[in-house]
C-alpha cells in the first residue's frame, strides 16, 4: 500500500504529464521553413533568417510594407542562398492572417509572362523568380542573375521550402 | 521633353560655355537658374553600358559620368568640373558624403561602380580619401550596393547611420517630425545624392527626394498618403535642403513596377545617369522616364493606378520651394 504522500506525488506527476501532453499534442511543432545548406541540391544558406513583425516590416521592404500590412501580414522572414556558389537568391516567407490576404499578395502585379506551376495551392514562375501560396503563407524566391540554370534551381529550392511549411 | 531643335540649341550653348571657362564665368555655373533661368537637368545615356550577363562595364560608367558632369557644369575637364562642384558645395578640405540607396537589395541598389567612379574623381579633384564618406541607413544597405564597410579615416569611409547614430533632438517641418543621422548633421559639409530610380508601391516613384528617407531614424512615419507631404517636408528641413547639393541619379537599371523591392520580371535598363541640383526637376524628369517605360510595355500610368507621385508638386509649392516641376522651367539636356 502506498503512503498518502506517495499517492499525492504520483497523482501530481501523472497530472503534470497529461498537461504537458495535452499542450503539445494538438499543435504541430513550429519548424524552420528555410532549408538547411545542402538540403536542396546545390543550394547553400548564406545568411538569415531574419524575421520582421508587421510593425517592423518597413525596415526590410520600406514602402512595400504598407501593401503587405493592408493584406494582413503577420510576419516576414527572409534568408539568403547561393546556388553552386554562383547564383545568389533571397527567400522571403510572408505569414498572412488569412489565405485571402496571401492570395491578394500573390496576384498583385502578375504579368502575362507568368508561368503557372503545380506547387502549394498556387504558384507562378518567371525567369528569375518564383512565388507560391500555401494556405496563409506566401513564399517568394528571387535570383539576382539570370542563367540557363536559374528557373530549375529556383523551382527546386521552392519545393524544398514548400515541403517544410 | 526637348525637341531635336531645342536639343541642338542646348548643345550649342554647352559649346559656348566650354569655351569660356574663366573663374568668373564658372562661378554660379552650378546655380540651377543661372544660365537660362531654368533648372538644368542632364540625362546622359550609353546604350552599351551593360556588358554580357547584365554586368556593368566600369570603364563605360566612368566615361558616362564624365560626359554627364561635363554637360551639367559646362566644364570639359573632369577634374576641373569636380573641383568646381566641391567649391560650390563649400566643402574644400571638408567631408563630402555620397548617399546611396541599398534598400532594394542586391538586385536594385545604387551601383558600386558609380560610387567608385565618383570617389575617384573627387580624389583627383583634391578631396582626401578620408573626407569621402559613402553612407546609407546601415551596413546591410551598403553591402547590397556592393560596398565594403570601412571606418578607417585614412581611406574612403563607408558606414551607415547604424554606426553614427541619430541626433537626440526631434526636428519639425509642417506635420513631419524627424531625427537626423549624425552623418548628415555632423560629418558631411555637402552630400551628393546617389539614388536609384524605382517604381514605388506607395509614393509612385522613388528617386532623388525619396532617397532622403534613408537619413532619418523613423522613415515609416513619413509614408502616409503616398509619402505626401512626407517627402517634400523631409527635403525642406534646412539640413537636407542645404547639404544635399547635387543629385547624380543612377538610372542604369530600374524597376518600372512592383518597387521599391527587386522584381526582375519588371527590370529595365535605361542605361542613364540623371544629374541636377534642382531635386524637384530631377524627380519630375525621372518620373517622365518611368512613365515612358510603363507606356512602352503597355502598363497604365501611375495616375491610373492611383499612385502618382504627388509629393513632387508639393515640393514645388509655396510652402516648400524646393524647385520646379514645370517642364517649361526645366532645361533638359539629353546626351
Tell if the CB–CB gap between A58 and B257 is shorter than 8 Å.
no
- What pLDDT is attached to residue B55? 85
User: Is residue A90 in a domain?
Assistant: yes
CA distance B302 to B296: 14
User: Is residue B75 in a domain?
Assistant: no
* C-beta of residue B196 within 8 angstroms of C-beta of residue B104: yes
* C-beta of residue B217 within 8 angstroms of C-beta of residue B173: no
User: Is residue A23 in a domain?
Assistant: no
User: Is residue A27 in a domain?
Assistant: no
- Mean pLDDT over A13-18 rounds to 50
* C-beta of residue A48 within 8 angstroms of C-beta of residue A165: no
Phi, psi for residue A55 in degrees, rounded to 5: -70, -20
User: Is residue B201 in a domain?
Assistant: yes
- What pLDDT is attached to residue B24? 33
pLDDT of A14 above 70: no
A58-102 pLDDT, tens digit each:
888 888 888 899 999 999 999 999 999 889 999 999 999 999 999
Nearest residue in A to B221, CA atom: A58
Which of A58, A62, A129 is the closest to B265 by Cβ? Answer: A129
Which of A127, A144, A146 is the closest to B106 by Cβ? Answer: A144
B158-195 pLDDT, tens digit each:
999 999 999 999 999 999 999 999 999 999 999 999 99
CA distance B322 to A93: 40
Domains identified in chain B, total number? 1
- What pLDDT is attached to residue B33? 46
User: Is residue B17 in a domain?
Assistant: no
pLDDT of A103 above 50: yes
| Positions of chain B with pLDDT lower than 70, given as ranges | 1-36, 52-53
- Mean pLDDT over A125-137 rounds to 96
Domains identified in chain A, total number? 1
- Dihedral sign, CA of A33, A37, A42, A46? positive
Query: With bands split at pLDDT 50, 70 and 90, how would you rate the model's confidence at A50?
Result: very high
- What pLDDT is attached to residue A48? 86
- Mean pLDDT over A34-48 rounds to 95
Nearest residue in A to B259, CA atom: A64
User: Is residue A22 in a domain?
Assistant: no
- Dihedral sign, CA of B32, B34, B37, B40? negative
CA distance B85 to B77: 12
User: Is residue B84 in a domain?
Assistant: no
The C-alpha of A76 sits at a distance from chain B's nearest C-alpha, in angstroms, of 14
Tell if the CB–CB gap between A144 and B219 is shorter than 8 Å.
no
User: Is residue A7 in a domain?
Assistant: no
CATH number at residue A95: 3.40.1000.70
User: Is residue A145 in a domain?
Assistant: yes
The residue range of the domain holding B144 is 90-326
User: Is residue B67 in a domain?
Assistant: no
- Dihedral sign, CA of B23, B24, B27, B28? negative
Chain A contact for B274, CB < 8 A? no
The 3 state secondary structure assigned to A35-79 is CCCCCCCCEEEEEEEEEEEHHHCHHHHCCHHHHHHHCCEEEEEEE
The residue range of the domain holding A113 is 34-162
- Cell 507606356 belongs to B295
- What pLDDT is attached to residue A3? 57
pLDDT averaged over chain A?
Answer: 86
CATH number at residue B110: 3.40.50.11440
Rg (CA), chain A: 21
The C-alpha of B69 sits at a distance from chain A's nearest C-alpha, in angstroms, of 30
- What pLDDT is attached to residue B51? 75
Nearest residue in B to A66, CA atom: B202
Phi, psi for residue B86 in degrees, rounded to 5: -65, -40
Chain A contact for B264, CB < 8 A? yes
Chain A contact for B88, CB < 8 A? no
- What pLDDT is attached to residue B163? 95
Tell if the CB–CB gap between B220 and A65 is shorter than 8 Å.
yes
Nearest residue in A to B226, CA atom: A63
User: Is residue A1 in a domain?
Assistant: no
Which of A65, A66, A126 is the closest to B265 by Cβ? Answer: A126
- What pLDDT is attached to residue A11? 59
User: Is residue A49 in a domain?
Assistant: yes
User: Is residue B4 in a domain?
Assistant: no
CA distance B226 to B203: 4
User: Is residue B99 in a domain?
Assistant: yes
Rg (CA), chain B: 18
- Dihedral sign, CA of A8, A9, A10, A13? positive
Amino acid at each position: 500500500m502506498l503512503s498518502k504522500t506517495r499517492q499525492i506525488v504520483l497523482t501530481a506527476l501523472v497530472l503534470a504529464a497529461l498537461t504537458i501532453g495535452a499542450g503539445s499534442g494538438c499543435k504541430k511543432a513550429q519548424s524552420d521553413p528555410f532549408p538547411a545548406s545542402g538540403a536542396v541540391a546545390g543550394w547553400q544558406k548564406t545568411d538569415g533568417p531574419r524575421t520582421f513583425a508587421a510593425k517592423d516590416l518597413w525596415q526590410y521592404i520600406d514602402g512595400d510594407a504598407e501593401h503587405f500590412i493592408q493584406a494582413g501580414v503577420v510576419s516576414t522572414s527572409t534568408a539568403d542562398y547561393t546556388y553552386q556558389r554562383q547564383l545568389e537568391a533571397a527567400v522571403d516567407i510572408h505569414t498572412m492572417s488569412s489565405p485571402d490576404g496571401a492570395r491578394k499578395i500573390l496576384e498583385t502585379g502578375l504579368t502575362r509572362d507568368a508561368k503557372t506551376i503545380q506547387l502549394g495551392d498556387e504558384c507562378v514562375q518567371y525567369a528569375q523568380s518564383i512565388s507560391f501560396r500555401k494556405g496563409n503563407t506566401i513564399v517568394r524566391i528571387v535570383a539576382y542573375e539570370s542563367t540557363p540554370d536559374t528557373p530549375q534551381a529556383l523551382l527546386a529550392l521552392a519545393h524544398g521550402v514548400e515541403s517544410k511549411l | 521633353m526637348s525637341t531635336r531643335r531645342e536639343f541642338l540649341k542646348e548643345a550649342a550653348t554647352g559649346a559656348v560655355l566650354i569655351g569660356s571657362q574663366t573663374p568668373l564665368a564658372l562661378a554660379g555655373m552650378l546655380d540651377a537658374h543661372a544660365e537660362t533661368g531654368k533648372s538644368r537637368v542632364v540625362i546622359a545615356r550609353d546604350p552599351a553600358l551593360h556588358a554580357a550577363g547584365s554586368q556593368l562595364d566600369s570603364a563605360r560608367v566612368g566615361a558616362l559620368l564624365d560626359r554627364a558632369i561635363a554637360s551639367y557644369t559646362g566644364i570639359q575637364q573632369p577634374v576641373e568640373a569636380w573641383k568646381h562642384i566641391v567649391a560650390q558645395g563649400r566643402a574644400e578640405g571638408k567631408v563630402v558624403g555620397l548617399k546611396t540607396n541599398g534598400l532594394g537589395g542586391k538586385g536594385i541598389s545604387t551601383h558600386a561602380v558609380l560610387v567608385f567612379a565618383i570617389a575617384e574623381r573627387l580624389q583627383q579633384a583634391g578631396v582626401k580619401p578620408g573626407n569621402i564618406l559613402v553612407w546609407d541607413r546601415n551596413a546591410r544597405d551598403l553591402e547590397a550596393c556592393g560596398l565594403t564597410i570601412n571606418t578607417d579615416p585614412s581611406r574612403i569611409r563607408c558606414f551607415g547611420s547604424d554606426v553614427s547614430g541619430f541626433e537626440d533632438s526631434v526636428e519639425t517641418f509642417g506635420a513631419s517630425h524627424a531625427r537626423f543621422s549624425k552623418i548628415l548633421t555632423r560629418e558631411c559639409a555637402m552630400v551628393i545624392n546617389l539614388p536609384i530610380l524605382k517604381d514605388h508601391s506607395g509614393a509612385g516613384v522613388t528617386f532623388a527626394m525619396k532617397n532622403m528617407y534613408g537619413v532619418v531614424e523613423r522613415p515609416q512615419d513619413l509614408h502616409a498618403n503616398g509619402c505626401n507631404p512626407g517627402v517634400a517636408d523631409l527635403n525642406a528641413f534646412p539640413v537636407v535642403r542645404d547639404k544635399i547639393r547635387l543629385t547624380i541619379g543612377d538610372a542604369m537599371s530600374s524597376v518600372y513596377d512592383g518597387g521599391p523591392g527587386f522584381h526582375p520580371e519588371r527590370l529595365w535598363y535605361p542605361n542613364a545617369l540623371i544629374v541636377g541640383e534642382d531635386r524637384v526637376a530631377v524627380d519630375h524628369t525621372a518620373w517622365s522616364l518611368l512613365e515612358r517605360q510603363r507606356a512602352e510595355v503597355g502598363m497604365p500610368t501611375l495616375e491610373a493606378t492611383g499612385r502618382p507621385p504627388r509629393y513632387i508638386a508639393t515640393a514645388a509649392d509655396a510652402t516648400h520651394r524646393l524647385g520646379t516641376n514645370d517642364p517649361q522651367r526645366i532645361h533638359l539636356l539629353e546626351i
